[in-house]
Amino acid sequence: MAKLYFYYASMNAGKSTTLLQADFNYRERGMATMLWTAGVDDREGAGQISSRIGLTAPAHAFEAGTDLFGAIAARADEGPLACVLVDEAQFLSRDQVLALARVCDELGIPVLCYGLRTDFQGELFPGSAALLGLADILVELKAVCECGAKAIMNLRIDAQGHAVNEGAQMAIGGNERYVALCRRHFMARLRG
């Protein structure tokens, strides 16, 4: 039976790198994959998965209304599809996560999702909440806080490096906008 996987972590844990490595491993063995990423993340150009260490790959971009099941089923009709890999999975809707579960259950294609668990306020993203509830396999990838402990929180910072604790849940950015911290240091920085 095909499974739905959720690889989650804070910023800078290597989620995109791990996804691209998995994609490479499948393709190296002659197996076809289908890559997806959030359309809102266009830092490296629309439809691009990129990692901090310089790896990149083209991907299909999903938006709020994208019919993932339909698009994946249409691709599977063209020929064997070994797996589907989804980056920035925190931006999926609950319905899209349910569609990915259908890909596993009805099409027999494994789906590997990679994303943040929580936002800059410690709240679950909708896609992450759905994946935590529905995924067959949950895998936490590790990032490291400045103190050496496991980083589980994503602190949003302003241009001066000060903590930001208000604003929209979705604000795309990298190291210039977020710092991965352990909970203790996250809370301390929020308190100022």
Q: Quick one: pLDDT at residue 33?
A: 98
Q: Quick one: pLDDT at residue 108?
A: 98
Would residue 88 show up in a list of annotated catalytic residues for this protein?
yes
Which of the residues 28, 44, 78, 88 is marked catalytic?
88
**Nearest to 107, CA basis, from 2, 27, 35, 22:** 2
Q: Are 175 and 12 in contact (CB under 8 A)?
A: yes
Q: What pTM was estimated for this model as a whole?
A: 0.90
- Using DSSP bridges, classify how beta strands 178-181 and 153-157 pair: parallel, antiparallel or unpaired: antiparallel
Low-confidence ranges of the chain (pLDDT < 50): none
**Lookup: tokens for 12:** 């800078």
What CATH number should be reported for the domain whose range is 4-142? 3.40.50.300
Q: Return d(Cα 180, Cα 148) in angstroms, integer.
A: 11
DSSP designation for 33: E
